[in-house]
Amino acid sequence: MNLSEKIKKLLKEKNAVLLAHYYQISEIQDIADYIGDSLALAKKATEINTKIILFCGVHFMAETAKILNPKTKVIIPDLEAGCSLADSCPANDFKIFKEKYPKHKVISYINCTAEIKTMTDIVCTSGNALKLVESFSKEEKIIFAPDKNLGGYINRQTGRNMILWDGVCKVHDILKNETVIKLKVKNPKAKLLAHPECNADVLKLADFIGSTAQMLEYAKNSNSKKIIIASETGLLHQMRKDSPKKEFMVVPTDETCLCNDCEYMKKNTLQKVYNCLKNEKPEIILDNNTIEKAKKPIEKMLQISQKLNIIK
């Protein structure tokens, strides 16, 4: 039996479900019970009633699953699988920042720690951020944290002036418009899809801007035979599975590869997944107070997303 088969068997024996983000290595995506972007995975976590959730993504995503489903044991293959956006926004610094704007509502991108979520009015993901912000009246004063690229994109789209926390996703922010232009010149008919965590210069060049799941949907339905992705390499796996006849390429971070990997997402390996399931650790542990406070803005997000038909 190979490692993937052993994991599948153990999942059944332990009454566990494996949730994976699209940025995971292909081998993990292929054995997952459910693959999704951060919004779909949060929603899925509310529906699970197994003994264990084995979460293959990054820490804030597993934490979100724990907050939404606190009775279930949530385990992750590597506790070091963090996120540069979550790291950019320490709770103490954010508290001081927030105190400067007592009349502002706080909208937090889901890529932040549970502690930041406890100081938040509503959480959003890249899949619903624009619509959630638009659901507030134009007069509402808003702090948006921690992604200044996503926040800036929403400000430009809506004509708002949200106060932005100064954080970026180092995987998306590093992409340069010159590299994109070179790829577009070489592939003039290709469509460019970009994640809103990219900087404004790259977003300006995009034919479509959306979350991971939204880009996948666009790629599947597009008539274009060539698609360039300004996002993470892991996306290519499902895109190629969905549309084997189309050509997909990722905007590279440098000249040496056609790849752009999130070092945190790629910390998870099949061996670590197996060990984690076998030993039922590392486990996500959160105190009840944090869970109760952090749950409110996430549940609010899910309710509004449902109302707006962004999720079912």
Kindly state whether residue 196 participates in binding ligand 13P, applying the rule CB under 6 A.
no
Q: In what order do the strands lie in the sheet with 208-209?
A: 208-209, 191-194, 226-230, 247-250
Q: Which positions from 231 through 250 interact with ligand SF4, judged by CB under 6 A?
A: 232
Q: Which positions from 210 through 229 interact with ligand SF4, judged by CB under 6 A?
A: none
**Min. distance of Cβ 190 from ligand 13P in angstroms?**
21
Q: Which positions from 101 through 130 interact with ligand 13P, judged by CB under 6 A?
A: 111, 125-127
Residue 132 interacts with which of ligand SF4, ligand 13P, none, CB < 5 to 8 Å by class: none
Residue type, 301: M
Kindly state whether residue 265 participates in binding ligand SF4, applying the rule CB under 6 A.
yes
The alpha carbon of residue 243 and the mean position of all alpha carbons in its chain are separated, in whole angstroms, by 23
**Min. distance of Cβ 111 from ligand SF4 in angstroms?**
5
Residue whose token pair is 């952090």: 294
From candidates 106, 145, 169, 228, binder to ligand SF4 by CB under 6 A: 169
Kindly state whether residue 147 participates in binding ligand 13P, applying the rule CB under 6 A.
no
Q: Which positions from 66 through 105 interact with ligand SF4, judged by CB under 6 A?
A: 83-85
Residue 264 interacts with which of ligand 13P, ligand SF4, none, CB < 5 to 8 Å by class: ligand SF4
Residue 84 interacts with which of ligand 13P, ligand SF4, none, CB < 5 to 8 Å by class: ligand SF4
Kindly state whether residue 262 participates in binding ligand SF4, applying the rule CB under 6 A.
yes
Is residue 57 within 8 Å of 69, Cβ to Cβ? no
Helices (H), the chain: 3-13, 26-31, 38-47, 59-68, 84-87, 91-99, 114-118, 129-134, 148-158, 170-173, 177-186, 200-203, 212-221, 235-242, 270-279, 288-307
Q: For residue 240, what are its two tokens? A: 């190629």
Nearest to 108 by CA among 91, 100, 99: 91
Is residue 122 within 8 Å of 307, Cβ to Cβ? no
Binding residues for ligand SF4, how many (CB under 6 A)?
A: 13
d(CA 129, CA 123): 9
Q: Which residues bind ligand 13P (CB under 6 A)?
A: 37-39, 111, 125-127, 169, 195, 197, 211-212
Q: Which residues bind ligand SF4 (CB under 6 A)?
A: 58, 83-85, 111, 169-171, 197, 232, 262, 264-265
